[in-house]
Amino acid sequence: MNPLLALQVAEHVRNEVREHPKRWGCLALFLLFGPVIACVLVAVLITVIIAGGADGSSSTPGHVPGIPDVMLTAYQQTAQRIGGIRPACTGMRWSILAGIAEVESRHASDRTIAPNGDITPPVLGPPLDGSGVGGNRTPIRNPDGTFARAVGPFQFLTTTWAGVEQDGNDDGVRNPHNAFDAALGAAVYLCGIGPRDLKDHAQLRAALLRYNASQTYVTHVLANIERYDAVELQPVVNASGAAKIVIDAAMSQLGVPYAWGGGTAAGPSRGIRDGGVADRHGDYNKIGFDCSGLVLFAYAKVGIALPHSSRAQFALGTRVPKEAGLGALRPGDLVFYSPNLIHHVGIYIGDGRMINSPSSGERVRIDVINVGYHAGGVRLVG
């Protein structure tokens, strides 16, 4: 509010109050103090936004398929809190922590994760006895002489944890088997003690290499981070049962590159040559999915084996005819494109949208269905 205007309004109200004290008393008080209250509220709001959204971490999804919700919350809270512990470290975001935890423990997704972050049974790596398991060729021992092993969702050695341990859930305990504690400890380790900007690719790579001195590891984690960065605006999908499992599996691959011929039941794979468009985009050197490969992968999660061909997939299941319109589709149904021959497939997620791996040069993404190319659907579950 313009300060001069506020004063004029206040003066008018005071005059009215003199004539009608009971009628205007409350309104006068509001107009007199309203601007002050508004300023205070705005200041508080700005403070909350700055504190909670430092380094852009406030723009986060509420759910990411493949990441237990408690783990995701731990990543988000850590990205917001790390600035108070390592003020010289900027650029931390939840996707960095998620990218590491996916490689280290698959987000502890096969464990029970309590609301306070405690993980049971504990995530334990193999004994580092130099036998070669997990790539370990040099025995590493604890101070008591036993072979060391990595622990928790971020796989800390005991000696490493001792130097970065944190109480991420404020319960007075620093436990590497707790999602909040471990995530905050991982962030402290990545930040180090000096200035570091994790938005800078070179500095992020150096931090990851410090976490694990393997270029292969760093490349894998960076690919995960890039994929998670792409799912910030993921919509809520109204699905359940097998359809939800299928959609969650596909959603977990958002941002993965298109690779012609890529995709297996286990996940993305190297593309192959097609002698044309895919070759010009270098698909044969990419790890990813083509459209039918993404579908094949997602449906494998519910025990349904599909051929790696959109035309062959179109011949399966229960047909949902084009004439029935998009309203006849259910989440989890396959959506096919023509004209002429079937040449593309995606997985329906509702509201006229599908998740798909569209074409060379693109990535797995969510698209509005192009009705002009819609050739009907196929129902394999539900």
CA–CA separation, 254 vs 314, rounded Å?
Answer: 23
Residue 62 banded pLDDT, cuts 50, 70, 90? low
What number is the average pLDDT over the span 204-216?
94
Domain total of the chain: 3
CA–CA separation, 366 vs 356, rounded Å?
Answer: 6
The answer to whether residues 344 and 252 belong to one domain is yes
- The label of the residue with tokens 């002050």 reads 36
Query: Which residues span the domain enclosing 88?
Result: 60-229
- Taking the complete model, does pTM exceed 0.85, yes or no? no
The answer to whether residues 199 and 248 belong to one domain is no
Would you say residue 366 lies in a domain?
yes
The answer to whether residues 215 and 102 belong to one domain is yes
The answer to whether residues 192 and 275 belong to one domain is no
* pLDDT of 64: 82
Model confidence over 360-380: pLDDT tens digits? 999 999 889 999 999 999 999
Listed residue (195, 185, 135) closest to 165, CA to CA: 185
The answer to whether residues 225 and 315 belong to one domain is no
Using DSSP, how many helices (H) and how many strands (E) does the chain show?
12, 12
Residue that terminates a domain, selected from 177, 199, 229? 229
Average pLDDT, the chain: 84
* pLDDT of 3: 39
The answer to whether residues 256 and 140 belong to one domain is no
The answer to whether residues 181 and 246 belong to one domain is no
The answer to whether residues 162 and 108 belong to one domain is yes
HSE value, Cβ hemisphere, 13 Å, CA-based, for 325: 2
The answer to whether residues 95 and 183 belong to one domain is yes
Residue that terminates a domain, selected from 199, 229, 259? 229
Would you say residue 235 lies in a domain?
no
Residue that terminates a domain, selected from 163, 198, 229? 229
Would you say residue 234 lies in a domain?
no
Amino acid, res. 219: T
**In which order are the strands placed within the sheet that holds 365-368?**
318-320, 374-379, 334-337, 344-350, 353-356, 365-368
- Is the pLDDT score of 271 beyond 90? yes
The answer to whether residues 157 and 263 belong to one domain is no
Share of the chain above pLDDT 90, in %: 64
The answer to whether residues 72 and 112 belong to one domain is yes
Helix (H) or strand (E) holding 130: none
Would you say residue 355 lies in a domain?
yes
Handedness of CA 180, 176, 65, 82 (dihedral sign): positive
SS3 of residue 89 by DSSP: strand
Residue by residue, DSSP assigns 239-278 as --HHHHHHHHHHHTTTTPBB-TT--BTTB-EE----SSHH
Would you say residue 236 lies in a domain?
no
Model confidence over 105-140: pLDDT tens digits? 999 988 999 999 999 999 998 887 777 666 666 787
Show Cβ contacts of residue 288 under 8 Å, excluding neighbours closer than 6 positions: 256, 257, 258, 259, 262, 263, 268, 269, 271, 357, 363, 364
